[in-house]
Structure 1
Amino acid sequence: MTTHTAWTHVCSVSDIPRLGSRVVKRADGDVALFRTASDEVFALHDHCPHKGGALSQGIVHGKTVTCPLHGWNIAFETGEACAPDEGCTMRFAVKVEGEAVFVQFA
């Protein structure tokens, strides 16, 4: 049996500031979309695993975001905190088709 998870169109790439973020409000927790300098798009639960800071308000550099509360760095590709910190936030699959950004929320 194959489970199919739908892709949800959330915005256009240009709606996410380069080296910035945009928040998708969801009943089960907000999702932060991030855009790197090379226009890659990533999605993480907008909640730092350390003290719950809004990652969407952090600083994007390379393929990580620095939490605005205590400076933890979270890797976009895994949702994992970078050493020496330990913890993980939920990561969501993203695909970009032209300018359209789609996320798998399940």
Structure 2
Amino acid sequence: MSNWKLICKLDDIPQLGSRVVQRQSGGDIAIFRNAEDEVFALHDKCPHKSGPLSQGIVHGRKVTCPLHGWNIGLEDGHAVAPDVGSCSKFEVKVENGEVFLSV
């Protein structure tokens, strides 16, 4: 059974933007919101050169890394072909306008 931690209100994450959740170990988590108000959570490091995905451009269900333009799938954390690699994804949900992260 998962435990859920309240992170913020959905409106605190800009559409086509992100919010960073800092962790004491294991690296930060980027929580993304797309134009359809879907929310996704990934490790905040591009698998290519560890660029901060939270500073990337969100489009559809992908984010483009700001360093070298790799596209990363928000649903699974996998780089879009022809690039290869992945970053960890985390369970996230929205209930009553609030965003929760599985811990």
User: TM bucket by the smaller chain?
Assistant: over 0.9
Give 5+ residue unaligned stretches, structure 1.
none
Q: How much has 1:88 moved relative to structure 2?
A: 0.4
Looking at structure 2, the residues matched to 5 and 41 of structure 1 have their Cα atoms a distance apart, in angstroms, of 18
TM-score, scaled relative to structure 2: 0.96
Give 5+ residue unaligned stretches, structure 2.
none
RMSD: 0.7
Matches within 5 A, 1:13-52: 13-28=10-25, 29-52=27-50
Residue deviations 1:57-105, cap 9 Å, x none?
A: 0000000000000000000110000000000000001111011101113
What stretches of structure 1 move > 2 A for 4+ residues in a row?
A: none
Looking at structure 2, the residues matched to 8 and 86 of structure 1 have their Cα atoms a distance apart, in angstroms, of 31
TM-score, scaled relative to structure 1: 0.94
Q: 1:81 aligns with which of 79, 90, 100?
A: 79
